[in-house]
Each structure stands twice: as structure tokens, then as C-alpha cells.
Amino acid sequence: MTKTNQVCTIAIVGAGFSGTLCAVNLLRAASGPNLRVVLIERNTRHGRGLAYRTWDDNFVLNVPAGNMSALADDAGHFVRYCQNIDPAFNAGSFVSRRIYGDYLEHTLEEAAGESAQFERVQGEVLSVRRQQDQTLRLELADGQSLLADRAVLAFGHFAPLDPTPPSPFYRSGAYVANPWNFAALDRIAGDAPVALIGTGHTAIDVLFRLTSQRDARKIYLISRRGLLPQAHRMHPQSPAIGGFPVFFQNLEPTVRQYLRALRRTAQQRVAQGGDWRDVFNSLRPHTAEIWRRFPPREQRRFLNTVLAFWDIHRHRLAPVAHLRLSQMLKSGQAEAVAGYIQGYDEADGNVTIRLRERGSGCVRALKVGSVVNCTGPNYDITRIDAPLVAQLRDEGYIRQDALRLGIDIDDEYRVVDSDGKAAADLFYVGPMLKARHWEAIAVPELRGHAQRLAKVLVESGGS
């Protein structure tokens, strides 16, 4: 494919939520013939990405439908889509992730239609390099190459790093390194107990997957604190859009001060018969600003001391998922274990995990058949070996942020190179926006970023 001088080609690498919505917003914003959008996805389906490619209706969204519109300027878009399927759906419904994937495909279809401006490409991008004439050349695994004036990196999530401490066990067949590899999970045979390292949403997905066919299997969920996500309330309300929380105004930007104010406000709300969740929800539109108010020292303090508590209150489970989890915990089929893994011994087809329990300090041995790493996506680009990330990193096109939360970008989504210079032609959107905005991993935040990035691209000549 070649570039013509009259047309600006924008290549988007990755067609999960972020890349797809970047394409959708570009097509909605720029109707002129001067723009060409090429959306490249290594998997067969464009639009679904890692989170929404499941066909298993056991997995439901962890955000109510009323806050899951893919379009930042049309809050009711997803609810209307659901009501076309079944009028009983409403803004408080927790819909399956499969339906959400269908919705994303539909939204892309609706925006792209028969547009001559839009092209889908299937293939893995291995490299993006700037040429002498300043165009970008994207090399694909099948030998194709593509020229673009701008490229958007929307490559999403990477499998978790092996847990600490390092162990030769992480090369064993009894260890599943990638919790999103459902084929590997389904290969775990027999009724022997399974240990999941991690107690967040990834672990709960794996718990449900592993017990949907074998309901006698014991599952241990292990993390340092053993904290499990809280539940949404039964009848969630749409978050009220308000100004910057008054309880944070005029505070010194320290984690201690903010936490104290947050806790006090939540307690007051509960004492008045309200719900602490409303206090957390009121922060959502302002989280990026709050994050930026903290100096790096306080950001680090937050990550080291508060993150686990923040995550379980902020990223809640759908009531139906929470109920299922509670029943499994009550029956003893699932057990949350708080402790520090010391090592593994493998013999006779069994794995013994040696663990120092939090609090008591006692050493406990858990005998299991398999171990699944559910510690959450890896956002540390210095430790990602996917060919595209390795090439961009090793050749200095992108760099890690100081807190190792993602990719260093400027306010207009331009990636910052190893010399500290923002690129004019290379952009990023996706969960690694955490590096700049902290909470940027879920739809309610990413839809806004995708829309703003499309605007930046259009205004910088992409129409």
C-alpha cells in the first residue's frame, strides 16, 4: 500500500476497545475524502479486544450498562443497543461481556459502513519506523508493509509478569502464565485444587472459568493482603456528574490527607443512611486531576500503601458475580489466602506452595495440581518482549514513565521518545495512559480519551 500526498493515512495498531473507538471517532469527526483510517488487528475479529472476545455469558461487565456507552457524547448509546435486544435491559443492568463485544463490532460497523475512507487489515504489526520522507512504515508479520502519515498504538494489554520470588517452577507445565489463555485453563484436568496468584478481577474470572465445568474443585486465591473486590449495590445509580469534590478542596496534596478526607466523608454518608459507593463515584471524573496534584513522592506512596484498598473499592464486581463469589467462599470451595509465597516444590504431579501467612507469620503448605498467574496486566514496557513493543522501545521511539505504569505521553497522546521529545506522528491510547492519568483502564475513561485523540488527529491535519 502506498501513501498519496493528498490523503492523510492514519494507521491504528490494535482493534480492541481503544483502537476501535479511535477509528469510530475519526470516522464520525472527519467526513472529508482526505482521511484514510486503517485499523489493524492480529486476531480475526475487529472490535472486541481482550476483554470482550469471550463467548462465555458467565462473564458480565463490572460497570452498569448506563455507564458503558462507547461514545463519550452519547451516554445512552449502549443502553439503547441492549434494549433493542431485550426491552427489559436498563441503565442498571450488568450485561454480559459477549454482548458488549457485539456492541463494539456494531458500533464500528455503524461508523464505517461502506466508507471508502476505512480499511480493516488483519495481521500483527511487528515494527513501526519513521522513514527519510517522514512517513511511517509498518511491517506486518505476513510480510505486508503499510505506509502511514500517523500511527496510533492501541496494542492494549500484556500478560502478567511472573510473580515474585523468581522460581524455576514458572517453567513447569503445572503453571499457567497467561490467565487470559482460556484454552490453557480448560486443559487443567482433574479435580485437584488450583491456586490462583492474585485476588482481583482477573483471578475471579479464572475462578469462574475453572469451576463452571468442575464444581467440586477447590480454588485458593492468594495475594499479600488477600483482599477481594467489593460489590456494586443491587440497584446501581448512574454516577452524578459534579464538580471537584469539596472534601478535597484546600487540602495539602498528600495521600494521608486525601485518604483521611475520603474515609471521613464515606463514613458520614453511611451514617446518614447513604452509600459509600456514591463518594467513590463522585471522584471518578476527577481522578486524573487528583493524581496530577500529588507530587511523585506521594504518587509512589499511593502505589505502595493504598493501591490494594483503592482497587477493591473502586473496581467493584457486578452483584451477580459477587453473590457467586460469596457463595463459593462460604461453602469453602474458594478460599482467599493472605500471605507471601516462599517457593514451590513439585513432585508426583502435585505442586506444594510454601507460603508465609500474613499476620500470624506461620508457614503454610498448599498442595495443588496447578497454579495460575492472575497478578494483572504487565504495563512495564521494559519487561515486555512482544516484537512491536521491543522494537519501539529498543529503537527509542517510546519510553517508560518514571513510575512504570505505562508509556510516557504528552497531553495530546503523542508518545515521548527516549530523548524526551514528543513525536508529531506517533500516538498512544489504551490502559498504559495510566502513566499520565492514573485511572484510564476502563470504558468510562477510555471512551473520552479515544474521542479526544481523534480530535487531536483531525485538528492536526487528518481530515
Footprint of ligand FAD (CB under 6 A)? 13-19, 40-43, 49-51, 61-63, 124-125, 154-157, 205, 388, 430-431, 441-443, 446
User: Which of residues 261 and 386 has its CB atom nearest to ligand FAD in the complex?
Assistant: 386
- Distance between CA atoms of residues 429 and 414, nearest Å: 9
DSSP state of 301: H
- Least Cα distance to 399 among 377, 378, 414 occurs for 414
- Distance between CA atoms of residues 400 and 102, nearest Å: 34
Dihedral sign computed on CA atoms, order 81, 87, 89, 92: positive
State the nearest-atom distance from the C-beta of 13 to ligand FAD, in Å. 5
- Note whether 240 and 281 are within 8 A (CB): yes
User: Which of residues 211 and 265 has its CB atom nearest to ligand FAD in the complex?
Assistant: 211
State the nearest-atom distance from the C-beta of 382 to ligand FAD, in Å. 17
State the nearest-atom distance from the C-beta of 7 to ligand FAD, in Å. 22
User: Which of residues 42 and 300 has its CB atom nearest to ligand FAD in the complex?
Assistant: 42
State the nearest-atom distance from the C-beta of 133 to ligand FAD, in Å. 24
- Note whether 14 and 155 are within 8 A (CB): yes
User: Which of residues 41 and 149 has its CB atom nearest to ligand FAD in the complex?
Assistant: 41
State the nearest-atom distance from the C-beta of 314 to ligand FAD, in Å. 12
Radius of gyration of the chain (CA): 23
What backbone torsions phi and psi does residue 19 show, to the nearest 5 degrees? -65, -40
User: Which of residues 357 and 412 has its CB atom nearest to ligand FAD in the complex?
Assistant: 412
User: Which of residues 62 and 370 has its CB atom nearest to ligand FAD in the complex?
Assistant: 62
State the nearest-atom distance from the C-beta of 304 to ligand FAD, in Å. 23
User: Which of residues 259 and 386 has its CB atom nearest to ligand FAD in the complex?
Assistant: 386
- Least Cα distance to 12 among 143, 85, 84, 108 occurs for 108
What backbone torsions phi and psi does residue 372 show, to the nearest 5 degrees? -120, 130
State the nearest-atom distance from the C-beta of 52 to ligand FAD, in Å. 7
Cell of 208: 469462574
Other beta carbons within 10 Å of 164: 9
- The answer, yes or no, to whether the previous bond of 165 is cis (omega within 30 of 0) is yes
User: Which of residues 10 and 351 has its CB atom nearest to ligand FAD in the complex?
Assistant: 10
State the nearest-atom distance from the C-beta of 49 to ligand FAD, in Å. 2
- Note whether 60 and 231 are within 8 A (CB): no
- Least Cα distance to 174 among 10, 348, 325, 292 occurs for 348
**Left, alpha or beta for 459 (phi > 0: left; psi -120 to 50: alpha)?**
alpha
What is the rounded (10 degree) CA torsion for 39, 10, 378, 122? 20
State the nearest-atom distance from the C-beta of 169 to ligand FAD, in Å. 25
- Note whether 367 and 352 are within 8 A (CB): yes
Overall residue count recorded for the chain in this entry: 463
- Note whether 78 and 120 are within 8 A (CB): no
Concatenate the DSSP letters of all residues of 63-88 into one string. Answer: S-GGG--S-TT-TTHHHHHHHHH-TT
User: Which of residues 182 and 247 has its CB atom nearest to ligand FAD in the complex?
Assistant: 182
State the nearest-atom distance from the C-beta of 328 to ligand FAD, in Å. 19
User: Which of residues 203 and 423 has its CB atom nearest to ligand FAD in the complex?
Assistant: 203
- Least Cα distance to 429 among 446, 411, 417, 408 occurs for 446
User: Which of residues 4 and 212 has its CB atom nearest to ligand FAD in the complex?
Assistant: 212
Enumerate the H helices of 332-442 as residue ranges.
387-394, 434-437
